Amino acid sequence: MMYRREDKYHLGAQEMDLLEARVRLFFGKDPHAGDSGSYHVSSLYFDDHQDRCFHEALRGEAFRRKYRIRIYENSFKEAKLEIKEKLYQGTKKISSPMEKNEIKALIGGEIFGLNADDEARRIFYLDYETGILRPSVIVSYDRSAYIYEPGNVRITFDRNITASSDFERFGKKKMIRSALDGSGVLEVKYDEFLPEFAARLLETGNMLRVSNSKYVLCRIALDKKERISL
Assess whether pLDDT exceeds 50 at residue 230: no
What residue ranges define each of the domains in the chain, with the CATH number in brackets? 4-229 (3.20.100.30)
b/e map 190-228, b = 16+ CB within 10 Å: beeebeeebeebbeeeeeeeeeebbbbbbbbbbeeeeee
Distance CA 23, CA 156 (A): 10
Quote the mean pLDDT of the chain. 87
Average pLDDT over residues 128-143: 91
Tens of pLDDT, residues 144-182: 999 998 878 999 999 999 999 999 999 998 888 888 877
Assess whether pLDDT exceeds 60 at residue 79: yes
- What pLDDT was estimated at residue 227? 44
Contact 120, 97 (CB under 8 A): no
**Whole-structure pTM value:** 0.91
